[in-house]
Amino acid sequence: MRIGELATKAGVSVRALRYYEEQGLLGADRSPSGQRHYPDGAVDRVMLVQQLYAAGLSSRRILDLLPCVYTGHATPETLRLLAEERSRIDAQVAGLTATRDRLDAVIAAAEASVTDGCVPPATA
Amino acid sequence: MRIGELATKAGVSVRALRYYEEQGLLGADRSPSGQRHYPDGAVDRVMLVQQLYAAGLSSRRILDLLPCVYTGHATPETLRLLAEERSRIDAQVAGLTATRDRLDAVIAAAEASVTDGCVPPATA
DNA sequence: CTAAAACCTGACGTTGACGTCAGAGGCAAG
DNA sequence: CTTGCCTCTGACGTCAACGTCAGGTTTTAG
């Protein structure tokens, strides 16, 4: 498949795919005229990359970790990086959960004040 | 207290505090010579701002939501923004949790392969 | 055959939350 | 008084993951 189709299927932009290649995250075969051609598995790979970006990993870190995600093998150093990212994500989840709970409390208080008539109705 | 002390107590940089003021997130009294002076409550306020930044809110959004976090009151529009951020954070937590689980699986596989002797010991 | 759509490389633009530097005051201690 | 630390404003620098534009080639639909 060519780059446009991959972009659509993976839900990213064409520019993003070229950027991933530039970062070494996504290889591509080239047709004689130079157009990129991807196997079907590229869709999953791109979505995995997206997932890792969303989790706050940098291109460089993803580059380090992608191989072992596929092979299941890792050097001790890579294993350390894996554990580091895992615990970072864990901490982030804890922080986000606390923030969410705080927003919940604010929402509850605000809704109560609306119910109490503290805010004039929009129809006024 | 002056800006340096607040920065230390809140765990942020002096530059960040000036930036918050620039964004309207943090007021300050001024001494006759122009130096900023903060009340004790500013520490909590700064930490709250930090927490919201960490949850992915922009300066603008924090500016919109900070008043109602303190007053417990909100217009219907602000309430909508609150709910929007809450659900966004919820989705982010879900995504992060999935990613963490994936990393756990990778770590388990990698540790198993190390245990199996697939990776030469560092002492080699 | 031709026009549209998709693709190519290269390179500058964007955004947000600050970092950092320059140059000029202000403030308690000795 | 002056030494040294803190603070001020103003302004440019940073970094990462792309967005966007320019100018040209390739593929596809009719």
| B62 contacts B26 by C-beta, under 8 angstroms | no
Distance of alpha carbon A116 from alpha carbon A29, whole angstroms: 65
Backbone φ and ψ of A11, nearest 5°: 75, 30
The per-residue pLDDT for A2 is: 98
- pLDDT tens across A1-19, in order? 999 999 999 999 999 999 9
List the beta strands (DSSP E) in A9-122: 29-30, 36-37
- Mean pLDDT to the nearest integer, B33-43: 97
From the list A78, A106, A113, the residue facing B82 with the nearest CB is: A106
Distance of alpha carbon A39 from alpha carbon A16, whole angstroms: 17
What sign results for the dihedral spanned by CA atoms A23, A29, A30, A35?
negative
- Put simply, whether A74 touches B (Cβ < 8 Å) is yes
Lowest mean pLDDT among A116-120, B63-67, B69-73: A116-120
Best residue in A106, A118, A119, A123 to probe B by mutation, most B CBs within 10 Å? A106
Tell whether the model's pLDDT for residue B121 goes beyond 60: no
Closest-CA residue of chain B to A104: B86
Q: What is this structure's pTM?
A: 0.89
Distance of alpha carbon A68 from alpha carbon B27, whole angstroms: 49
The per-residue pLDDT for A120 is: 58
Helix B14-22 to helix B3-10 angle (10° resolution) is 100
The per-residue pLDDT for A124 is: 41
- pLDDT tens across A39-88, in order? 999 999 999 999 999 999 999 999 999 999 999 999 999 999 999 999 99
- Mean pLDDT to the nearest integer, A81-109: 96
CB contact under 8 A, B96 and A99: no
Nucleotides of C under 7 A from a protein CB: 6-9, 16-20, 25-27
Tell whether the model's pLDDT for residue B81 goes beyond 90: yes
Distance of alpha carbon B66 from alpha carbon B74, whole angstroms: 10
Q: Is any atom of nucleic acid chain C found less than 7 Å from the CB of residue B35?
A: yes
For residue B49, count CB atoms less than 10 angstroms from its CB and return exposed for 0-12, middle for 13-18, buried for 19 or more. Answer: buried
pLDDT bin (cut points 50, 70, 90) of residue B124 is: very low
Backbone φ and ψ of B36, nearest 5°: -75, 140
Chain B nearest-CA distance from A68, in A, is 7
The per-residue pLDDT for B100 is: 97
Distance of alpha carbon A97 from alpha carbon A103, whole angstroms: 10
Nucleotides of D under 7 A from a protein CB: 6-9, 16-20, 25-27
Mean pLDDT of chain B: 92
CA distances from B71 to A107, A113, A118 (A): 11, 10, 12
Tell whether the model's pLDDT for residue B112 goes beyond 70: yes
Q: What is the CA angle B54-B59-B65, rounded to 5?
A: 90
| B50 contacts B9 by C-beta, under 8 angstroms | no
The per-residue pLDDT for B114 is: 72
